[in-house]
Amino acid sequence: MENTKVLLVDDEKLIRDGLKIILNTYDNIQVVGLCENGEVAYHFCKENDVDVILMDIRMPVLNGVEATKKIKSEMPHIKILILTTFNDTEYIYEGLKNGASGYMLKDSAYALIVDSILAAHKGNVVVHQEVANKIIESKSIIKNESVHIDYGLTQKDVNIIILIAEGLSNKEIAERLFLSEGTIKNNVSIILEKLDLRDRTQIAIFAYKNGMAK
């Protein structure tokens, strides 16, 4: 199995260097580059093979949210995990809305960061529990009693949405609900159409904003 190729993007050299040293101790992780802002990261990705980016939010030239949008628009195969100390609802929404695969805090345990990198590489949504709580506590949250009716969701749709928000893959959801992986894939497509959303990450955001995930 090939190593997951990771790009570290942070304007603080100490953080970049420290993360590189730690992550390179894991056999299944390979740090392929260090960038000081989003613009440099964008050009690096254009010229190098990258699987997952750990992206800081507050950076000069091009911040993490705008860099995520720019990179995902041209290189959608690259997964981006927002990694920051800035636990702010606006940035959470904007980063995920622009295609990030998740949001982790810099003080997370290294093992959790590695697990998140590998999960994101597989296509799963990764949201730190503190961040999830922040979303749930947001004033923009909608009570979930009317969500089913408003969007025409079936109970199976709701179950799948909740499991996506928990970070499960189609295969894992299929095993949990005793359905085929193909059936889950079809249902996810139907859910995306019902909610007028683009991808699984936006489904997870929908779940958190509407009180469907814990």
Q: Give the Å distances, CA to CA, from 52 to 8, 101, 127.
A: 9, 9, 15
**Domain limits, CATH 3.40.50.2300, in the chain:** 4-136
Average pLDDT of the chain, as a whole number: 85
> Which token pair is 193?
């159409």
Work out the percent of the chain whose per-residue pLDDT is above 90.
42
Which structure tokens are listed for 107?
Answer: 């003080």
Q: Which of 6-10, 63-67, 146-150 has the highest mean pLDDT?
A: 6-10
Q: Give 88 or 18, the one with higher predicted confidence.
A: 18
Percent of the chain exceeding pLDDT 70 equals: 86
CATH superfamily of the domain spanning 4-136: Response regulator (3.40.50.2300)
Q: Over the stretch 89-141, which tens digit does the pLDDT of each residue have?
A: 667 777 777 888 888 888 888 888 998 899 889 887 787 766 666 655 554 44
User: Residue 143's pLDDT is what?
Assistant: 45
Question: Poorest-confidence range of 12-26, 56-70, 141-155?
Answer: 141-155
Of 189, 199, 201, the residue nearest 165 (C-alpha): 201
User: Could you tell me the pLDDT band of residue 87, with boundaries at 50, 70 and 90?
Assistant: low
CATH architecture of 141-209: Orthogonal Bundle (1.10)
CATH 1.10.10.10 domain range(s) in the chain = 141-209
Tokens coding 164: 């996506």
What residues contact 18, with CB distance under 8 A and at least 6 apart?
none
pLDDT value of position 140: 41
